[in-house]
């Protein structure tokens, strides 16, 4: 269980954060939440698909790293083998918390990334913010703002019935069968059949851009399968 506390330069004055990757730091994740402002970078490396949030209230876009729980095909020892790492991964162990209208940086104090003797210092010797912390908080702000755009995109997708569930059956070189289920993608037939008014409305709201980024991202499935085959070899 994460232990989330407000970050402050008294309790956390000696705190350091380990920035390298690894299974021991919780990087063995199958997916990470993403958001429209990040789609351009994410689609260059990962398939973007949608999943249901467990509260049953909606959907969220995610960058996919593997085909089953706890499988991250981009994790190579201490290295994350991709030119871009999604911000929801990069931000670890920091989180944003809202206090009234104020955004505050929080930290998971029990995260394996948190250390006293290794990694990047969070505060300067006299208590000022380190450059590392400044970068982290600007990242948190990008995430916070980016996530605000997700509900409008999803409601447009649902309104035009553009989301559909899909099943991906993958046969690996060794003959083993793998099935990816539980995710959703854009229904291209329905997208192609939209009338001009609907397309214009999606375009004006900026959603058309996101939709095509998602579609383009699907070619990364081929690369993901290659990685899976390599991992099995």
Residues lying near another protein in the complex (CB under 8 A) are found at 52-58, 158, 161, 163-165, 184
Minimum Å gap between C-beta 49 and another protein is: 13
Residues in Cβ contact with 170 at an 8 Å cutoff, skipping those fewer than 6 apart: 67, 177, 178, 179, 180, 225, 228
Minimum Å gap between C-beta 163 and another protein is: 6
Strand order in the sheet with 94-99: 4-6, 102-108, 94-99
- Closest to another protein by CB, 24 or 159: 159
Report the first-to-last Cα separation within the chain, whole angstroms.
35
Minimum Å gap between C-beta 165 and another protein is: 6
- Closest to another protein by CB, 172 or 198: 198
- Closest to another protein by CB, 104 or 163: 163
Minimum Å gap between C-beta 55 and another protein is: 7
CA distances from residue 153 to 50, 61, 199 in whole angstroms, order as listed = 12, 10, 13
Residues in Cβ contact with 85 at an 8 Å cutoff, skipping those fewer than 6 apart: none
Tokens of 1: 């269980």
- Closest to another protein by CB, 56 or 175: 56
């Amino acid at each position: 269980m994460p232990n989330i506390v407000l970050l402050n330069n008294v309790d956390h004055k000696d705190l350091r954060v380990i920035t390298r990757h690894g299974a021991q730091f919780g990087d063995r994740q199958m997916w990470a939440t993403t958001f429209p402002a990040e789609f351009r970078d994410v689609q260059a490396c990962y398939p973007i698909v949608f999943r249901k949030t467990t509260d049953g209230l909606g959907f969220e876009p995610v960058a996919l790293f593997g085909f089953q729980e706890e499988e991250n095909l981009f994790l190579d020892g201490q290295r994350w083998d991709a030119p871009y790492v999604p911000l929801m991964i990069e931000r670890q162990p920091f989180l944003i918390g809202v206090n009234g209208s104020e955004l505050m940086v929080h930290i998971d104090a029990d995260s394996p990334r948190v250390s006293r003797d290794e990694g990047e210092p969070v505060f300067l010797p006299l208590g000022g913010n380190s450059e590392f912390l400044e970068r982290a908080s600007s990242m948190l702000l990008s995430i916070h703002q980016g996530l605000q755009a997700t509900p409008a995109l999803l409601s447009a997708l649902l309104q035009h019935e553009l989301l559909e569930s899909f099943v991906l059956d993958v046969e690996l070189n060794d003959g083993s069968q793998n099935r990816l289920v539980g995710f959703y993608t854009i229904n291209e037939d329905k997208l192609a059949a939209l009338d001009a008014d609907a397309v214009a409305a999606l375009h004006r709201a900026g959603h058309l851009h996101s939709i095509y980024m998602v579609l383009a991202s699907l070619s990364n499935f081929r690369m993901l399968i290659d990685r899976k085959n390599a991992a099995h070899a």
